[in-house]
Structure 1
Amino acid sequence: MSRLFDTGTVRGKLMLMAVSTTLAALLVTSAAMLLFDVRTFQRYWVDDLNTQADIMARVTAPALAFNDAKTAQQNLAVLRVRPQILVAAVYTASGALFASYTPQPGEHPVPARPGAPGYRIERGELVVFHPVVENGEPLGTVYLRSRYGLVDRIFSYGGILAAVMLAALVVAALVARKLQAGITQPLQTVTHVAREVMQRRDFSLRVPDHQGGEIGVLVDAFNDMLAEIGRRSDALQQANRTLEHEMHVRERAEEALRIADKRKDEFLATLAHELRNPLAPIRTGLDILRIRSGDAQATQRATDIMERQLRQMVRLVDDLLDVSRINTGKLAIKMGRVELKAVVNDALEVVRSYIELHGHELVIDLPDRPVFLHGDATRLAQILSNLLNNAAKYTNRGGRVSLSARVDDKTLVLEVSDTGIGIAPEMLDSVFEMFVQVDSTLERSNAGLGVGLSLARRLVELHGGTITAASDGLGRGSRFTVRLPIVVEPEPPTKPTPAAFISAETYRILLADDNVDFVNSIGALLSAMGHSVVITHNGPDALTAAARFCPDYAFLDIGLPQMSGYDLARAVRNLPCGPMTVLIAVTGWGQEKDRQLAFEAGFDHHMVKPVRFEQIEEILGNRTIVDKRRR
């Protein structure tokens, strides 16, 4: 208990304050309640004795009227049922004693004459004189003397209050002990932490933040003070370490400068090498064009070589520019609804010739159902082309390059793997850094600048995805996994073509699109339905096929090589069978002005990529136009 109320501690002071406050409140309350009870007790006894005197006055009035002292004496004897009454008497109107009653004769004398009407307290006893009146005529006076018992009442009630106060103080002490932990516990923690800091000189120690309010402010201020002292201590120690190890730091700085300078020289040498590599074939192609200008086959071969090498140079420059744009925040990403297969096709158009040039086997494994992303189609294709180009570059001739995709809980997982030289374990974390190359030996003449993977990672991050590298070791190939969020739900798979529809009327259909995979798949479905299908990949071939084939329907891409879809539509309309052909524009441009341009060029329908086969079925099912033109 002495420890609990130890005034030398904050805890003891708080406990003493809580108990003292409670005691003062209880004393004031008890005094007020005791005073109220005394007044109530007095009023009760006065009213009770006045009532008893009034009853006696009414009962003894006839006896006074008939001068019957015996009856009056009997009436007063009834008061024996009230042991508190010590003396009772009845006086005549002249003041003479008429009858009296004393439980113990001689102990309490009866006054010789009555006093003034009313009550008074004498030596702890209550005395009442009450007049006897009958029909307005005073007949006498009733006298009653009773034990008052105020002192006993005070001691009894005081004892109860004392017991209640004691219980209340005990409860208050227990509650205060419980509640004071919210104040003293943080302070004790602060004291403990301060002691630990002084003993261990560890300024990283902190007091847990227990609560808000003033205690929270105190704890925060104490922690901030420790943090500031810690910072200054660390700064002082760091300064000492800097002074002590200045030579070592200078040597490390010089080593870092030498490494940076070496990397700069290596990058410049690689850049010069990569730029000279395409220049040599281009120069040779120019010589072929100059010496064998009349040889069409040689000219075509030289042109192909120069075009391929020029694309390689442009790719190198574009990668460097894209990295610079990303670093400066100037790379624009045009987000939109993109279909996975379209992205893969765009990427394959860029790297297919490079993969075939190295004699690699290309394996593609994509989901059967369409998968849609929210991203920049050009940049997504650039990510895949960089990964595929990297895989082909670091795979010895005749290897295998694989691209697979799957949907995993609203996430598209793309994996590009190869059977190439692999990646050493210590290089897995750094292959995505700028100018880092897995193999920079002289034997690999087309090692590149080391920016492709870095650019791919940054583009993936701009699309809210991640990219990781994995390898089983040197000589065991590598795997690059890209995870991109699918923010547009995949569309349901295409419904199988009903057998009844295959037996319906068939049409001659012309398909013209430079997206080989798309147009071939659509053509295969239309052929399976019994239609006659002709597929072309550029404008002139489509016009020739239309003149020869006279199609009932022609699905024409707007962005065709060598001739736009608009010009092709106008040319088809000028053919003898052109007015009978239903022309459908298939394009990635879907604004109202694009639709208007299509209709002005002679198209009957306008479809926005990606095109679902149900849309084609709906157009073929509407035979009104073609039947009318056939007639």
Structure 2
Amino acid sequence: MPLHDAGTVRSKLVIMAVSTTFVALLSASLAMLLYDLRTFQRYWIDDLTTQADIIASVTAPALVFNDARTAQQSLALLRVRPQIQAAALYGASGMRFASYLRGGPGGTGLPPAPGRHGHRVEGGEIEVWHKVMDDGEMVGTVYLRARLGVVERLANYATILGAVLLASLGIAALVATRLQRAITRPLEAVTHVAREVMQRRDFSLRVPGHDGGEIGVLVAAFNDMLGELGRRAHALQDANRTLEHEMRVRQGAEQALLLADRRKDEFLATLAHELRNPLAPIRTGLDILRIRSGDANATERATDIMERQLRQMVRLVDDLLDVSRINTGKFAIKMGRVELKAVVNDALEVVRSTIELHGHELAITLPDRPVFLHGDATRLAQILSNLLNNAAKYTNRGGHVRLDARVEDNALLIEVADDGIGIAPDMLAHVFEMFVQVDSTLERSNAGLGVGLSLARKLVELHGGGIEAHSDGVGKGSRFAVRLPIVVAPEPPAKTIPASLISAEAFRILLADDNVDFVNSIGALLSAMGHSVVITHNGTDALTAATRFFPDYAFLDIGLPGMSGYDLARSIRRLPSGEHTVLTAVTGWGQEKDRQLAFEAGFDHHMVKPVRFEQIEEILGNRGTLKKVRS
């Protein structure tokens, strides 16, 4: 057995088997040796007793007839028994009659007188005394002494037992070596798999084999333990991954909240700035009108400035309302067949003054043939105006703005490019987010609210298109590409309204608003056009006027004193002439729910303050249509 292998289970099993065999053989050998010694001693006692009995029978006549020579000859025959060392024949009187000593004559070593009938073992020798009988009468005694030879017997026996023991141990070691594999192989497999699991952390490993007995139970239990550990390890890993994911999500949410909070603060500050900016020119225009009311040129310039600034404020508020409607899912677009050039012209009407104010050079390239889109003309124009307005704001004075449109794969690709401040690479993915501004420095005071691009993207997506931002870096300009589906089919004929349904007569108009300056100015304009106008400043007076005046049109503020505009509209509808009156709600609330409340109250139209006179003219001009339009 190798020394380095002495501590293994295999060597221990072999040693255990050999040791057990050795102890068993040694115990059996000692027992057999003791038994053999007793048997050997009994054999010699029986043998000498028999020999003594034979000698007594043979020498009895010699003793009777006192024939010493015959008795001596009889004893001499014992020389053929080398173990018998001495023999003697005693007469009835106790005198030695004849004797025998191995090695020569003489009486040395012989007892002087006979002993008691029987035997005695002492000092490795055995002595036997036997009576000589003749016709029932004791005529003498036979004495025999023999060497037992226990040492020689033990030596021979030990030699034999040693050889047998060594052979048995060898055979036991060989058999144990073969048999121990049935035990050590599963244990070695368990040890190997356990080591692999610890090193590789792979709990899918299993110990092969399906042996029965305790070893099989051990292997099965070990495999079950590995399975349970694997399940727990996977559960722990899943829990760790879940915790890590939750931590990342929470960290991302926290960062998003911090970013949203910062953008909110920036947005509120920018909103206050953007709303204050138009107020200063409007205030200055009012001062001009007050101080130089007789100067027609100064009055016209002041009016132009005030109208331009007012449109800017209305544009800001409208953008915010549109974004809110889209985010809440209450924004609807009116899809129809739209020609590209008409959309571009409408967008230019909105942004031309801004581009001219900054001194930019605008270049426009459109397809030669008409291109038709399926969408909302107003919202499509709003997309382009937002992109052009964004390009004008973020381009230094005297820059270049370009609008290119071309058809690619049954789609319209519109690109708005500039040579302005450009967009940093890390901002390209965020420019379409709410309240994000590429440049928010104090030097660029007209940067806007950061909602234009976000609104443009959402409007493009509502039309089934897409928008992308491109820039070569800061100071290298930017480019926005819009892709929209086009309509290839020919344009359907427009529906015409019969001339008999159109009336050019003056109308009776009821105005109800607690803003005296606004309602009086609108009333003056309508009266100058030849209409009959009644002006009231609360709900009760308005209802009284409607009862007596039978108005064709009624423009009603919602927040009237005494009676809300909703209640006033319902009351007018209950009048005999109320069903023929075109009711228009004029309010500062422009959410979709406010429009719905107005229509439910009986209004035909809904206008959000500030109201342009052109909107009122449009409503007055649509009276002849068969279908009332809710704007």
Same fold (TM over 0.5): no
Shorter chain as denominator, the TM-score bin is: 0.3 to 0.5
